Amino acid sequence: MKIMEIEGAKELNGTIRISGAKNATVALIPAAILTDEEATICNVPEITDTEALCDILSLLKADVKRASESIVINPKSLENIEIEEKYSKKLRASYYFMGALLGKFKKAVMYFPGGCSIGARPIDLHLKGFEALGAKVTNEKNKYIVEAEELKGANIYLDIASVGATINIMLAAVKAKGTTIIDNAAKEPEIVNVATFLNNMGAKISGAGTSTIKIEGVDYLHNCFHEIIPDRIEAGTYLIIGALCGNNLKIDNIIPEHLDSITSKLEEIGVSLEVGLDYITINKSNNTFKPTTIKTAVYPGFPTDLQQPFTVLLTQCNGKSKVVETIWENRFMHIPYLKDLGADVEVKNQTATIIGPSKLHGTQVVATDLRAGAAMVAAGLFATGTTTITNVEHILRGYEQIIEKLTGVGAKITLKEI
Ligand code: EPZ
C-alpha cells in the first residue's frame, strides 16, 4: 500500500505546469481505435488510468507505442476481444471501449466499468443511445453485449447532459450510416477535444461544446495527430492549494476560460489572483476569506470534480459556507476526514455546511476517491503538523507527478510504500 506524508504549513512558490486532461485522455485512447490508419496523441498524462487503458489496447492487440508524453496507436491488428472484468473495473472510462468497438466492429462485449464510488453511476443513457443507433443490448449479470447488424444515424435526446453518454454515442455514431443528432448533449471542454480528435481523422462532427451535436457518419478515418487540452480539474486543484498556501504560485499551461467558474468563486471569496493568457498566479491571504455557496453543475457551471478540494478552502472563510452537490449522490466521503483535521462541517442530504475559519492540524486520513484524495492533499499542505494519507492509489489515478510538482514549489510531501 502507498501512503503520502505531508509536513504542512509551508509556503508554495514557483511554477506548476498542468498536464493533459485526464478526462479527455481516457476517452481519446479508446477513440483512437476508430482510425483506419494510425493516431498520435500528445500531451498524454502519465497516470494509472492511462496505463489501464493502454492495457486494454494491448488486450485488443492494437499496436501501442509510447514515447515521453505521446502515444501512437495503430489498430490494424485489432481484434474484437471480450474485455474482462479485471480490465473494465480498473476505471470508469473503460466504458468508452463500448462505443468505440461498436463503432468499429458493430459489436462490443465488456463488463461493467469501475471507477470512484461517488454514486450509483448507471450507464442507461449510453445503452439507450446505442439502441437508438440500431444496436441490441444484452446484459448477463455484469457483462454487456452490444451488437448491431448496421448502425444508423438517429435523433437522440439525453435525459441528463451526461459527459460519458455524449462521448460514447459520438464514438458509436461516427461511422454509422446517416446523421445522428445528440440533443441535451454535455458541453464539457473534454467533449470538444474528443470531437476535434475524431474530426482530425476525417469524422464530420459539429456542435461539440453546445447542447446539440450533429454527427454525419463517414466510412473511413485516416491518420491524425492530436494534442490533449490542459487538465482544468488538475489546474483548479492547484489553484485551491495556491489560495491556501501560495506565495506567487504560478499555475501554468492552462486555458483560463475553462476555469471561469472557479476563478470567479475564488475572486468572490477574496482570493488574489492574476490571470494571464495561459497561466494564473495566485497568493494566499493573511486574512480570512468571505463565505460563499457553491452548487455543482454541468459545464460551464461549478464542476463537481472540484467541489471536494474547494470545501477545504471554505474552512478558511469567515462564517457559514455551503456546498450543494447536484451531480453525484456520494461525494462527501472526505468530510469525516476533514473534520478529523479540525474543520467544522456538517452534511445533510446533498449539502455540506462549513463554518470557518478553523485551524487544521495534521492527522491520519484516507483518500476515499480521487478528488477526496486531492482534498486531503490540499488540507494536509495547509494544516500544521504531519498529515498521512492512505489509499493514495486513488490520487495517482488522476494527478500526474503530484509529488514532484508539489515538491518543486516547496511542499514537504513524500510517497511511501508500506
Ligand atoms: C464524467 O463522469 C467524469 N469522468 C467525472 O469525473 C465527472 O465527475 C462527471 O463527468 C461530471 O462532470 C470522466 O470523464 C471519466 P456523467 P461521467 O455521465 O461521464 C447520471 C473525476 O473525478 N447518469 O456526466 O460518468 C450520473 O449518475 C470523475 O475525474 C445517468 O443517470 O458522468 C450522474 O448523476 C469522477 N445515466 C450524472 O448523470 C447515465 O447513463 C452525470 O454523469 C449516465 C449518467
Residue 116 annotated among the catalytic residues of the structure? yes
Would you state the pLDDT for residue 71? 97
pLDDT at 233 over 80: yes
Would you state the pLDDT for residue 53? 96
* Ligand 1, atom 16: closest residue by C-alpha: 162
pLDDT in tens, 337-393: 999 999 999 999 999 999 999 999 999 999 999 999 999 999 999 999 999 999 999
Taking the whole predicted model, whether its pTM rises above 0.95 is answered as yes
Ligand 1 pocket test: pick from 29, 50, 160, 194 the residue with the most ligand atoms within 8 Å of its Cβ: 160
pLDDT at 319 over 90: yes
Would you state the pLDDT for residue 271? 96
Q: Looking at the domain that runs over 22-227, which CATH code has it been given?
A: 3.65.10.10
Average pLDDT over residues 254-266: 98
DSSP string across 15-58: EEE--B-HHHHHHHHHHGGG-SS-EEEES----HHHHHHHHHHH
Would you state the pLDDT for residue 37? 97
pLDDT in tens, 294-313: 999 999 999 999 999 999 99
Would you state the pLDDT for residue 114? 84
Delimit the domains of the chain by residue range.
2-19+230-417, 22-227
Distance between CA atoms of 143 and 139, rounded to whole angstroms?
Answer: 6
Distance between CA atoms of 32 and 225, rounded to whole angstroms?
Answer: 11
Average pLDDT over residues 241-258: 98
Whole-number average pLDDT of the chain: 96
pLDDT at 97 over 80: yes
Average pLDDT over residues 59-70: 94
Q: Give yes or no for a contact between 307 and 294, defined as CB atoms under 8 angstroms apart.
A: yes
3-class SS of residue 294: strand
Q: Give yes or no for a contact between 20 and 235, defined as CB atoms under 8 angstroms apart.
A: no
Query: Does 175 sit in the ligand 1 pocket, CB within 6 Å?
Result: no
Higher pLDDT, 340 or 112: 340
| Fold classified for 2-19+230-417 | UDP-n-acetylglucosamine1-carboxyvinyl-transferase; Chain (3.65.10)
Ligand 1 pocket test: pick from 28, 123, 163 the residue with the most ligand atoms within 8 Å of its Cβ: 163
